[in-house]
Amino acid sequence: MLETAIQVSAHQTADAVLNQTVEAGSYFVHEILQGQTVRIVDLEGNQAVDTLFYNAHDYADRYSVQDTIREQNNVYLTTGTKLISTGRNVMLTIVADTCGRHDTLGGACSAESNMVRYDLEKRSMHACRHGFLKGAFEWSRDTGHELDKRDLTANINFFMNVPVTPEGALTFADGVSDVKKYVELRAEMDTLIIISNCPQLNNPCNAYNPTPIQVLIWDAK
């Protein structure tokens, strides 16, 4: 079991080169240059922030849940965790974390999973996969770099609480985050980040109340 590693950051909001609010159900796409630091803030607490990472120069080299879990020897993420890519490269390092634990197993909600997990009538509800798709399509349109639904693989759920039972099953529980808790990651390579800020209304991961987040980026000192 992972020991939480609470670490406060020295970065000041006024020094950030980017400061953006992302509403629940919306998305965020941006390139983080090597040495830059990105902070994700849970503004109101208990939000689930579904996130994908890609090598900015080779989208086939992307965050790998399997390699990250194996290298860290645990299923949760916190300060000191290195996010490993499918090419066995270190993409980012968590350098500060005031929440203490983040999920890398629960995946992203979708129309299909909403139907299977909750009710057939939930199909029309907005889901995290929709946010990922919108972000990928917008990035492709604006930059000319192809990124589509085939590139949407396993994601991280920052602030989300998915306990693993002794039998190996996953359970979804109330979040362990709180107002203005944050996680901060330093890019070890040029990295593309896509966030789908969860709109889920059917499970307790966000206390049934999806809320906005804040994303800040600082240049390397």
CA separation for the pair 96, 7 (Å, rounded): 5
CA separation for the pair 151, 136 (Å, rounded): 9
- The total of structural domains in the chain comes to 1
* Closest to 41 measured CA to CA, from 18, 63, 59: 18
Q: What is the pLDDT of residue 80?
A: 96
CA separation for the pair 193, 119 (Å, rounded): 31
Tens digit of each residue's pLDDT (9 = 90 or more) over 83-135: 999 999 999 999 999 999 999 987 777 555 555 565 556 555 567 888 999 99
Structure tokens at 218: 């600082």
Q: Is the dihedral of CA 103, 96, 82, 14 positive or negative?
A: positive
- The answer to whether position 16 is within a domain reads no
- The answer to whether position 13 is within a domain reads no
* Closest to 67 measured CA to CA, from 78, 55, 53, 83: 83
- The number of CA neighbours under 13 Å toward the Cβ of 59 is 18
DSSP 8-class letter at 42: E
Q: In this predicted model, which residue has the larger pLDDT, 205 or 151? A: 151
* Closest to 221 measured CA to CA, from 9, 18, 11, 8: 11
Look up the domain containing 141 and give its range. Answer: 22-218
- The answer to whether position 50 is within a domain reads yes
- The answer to whether position 29 is within a domain reads yes
Global pTM?
Answer: 0.91
- The answer to whether position 15 is within a domain reads no
- The answer to whether position 7 is within a domain reads no
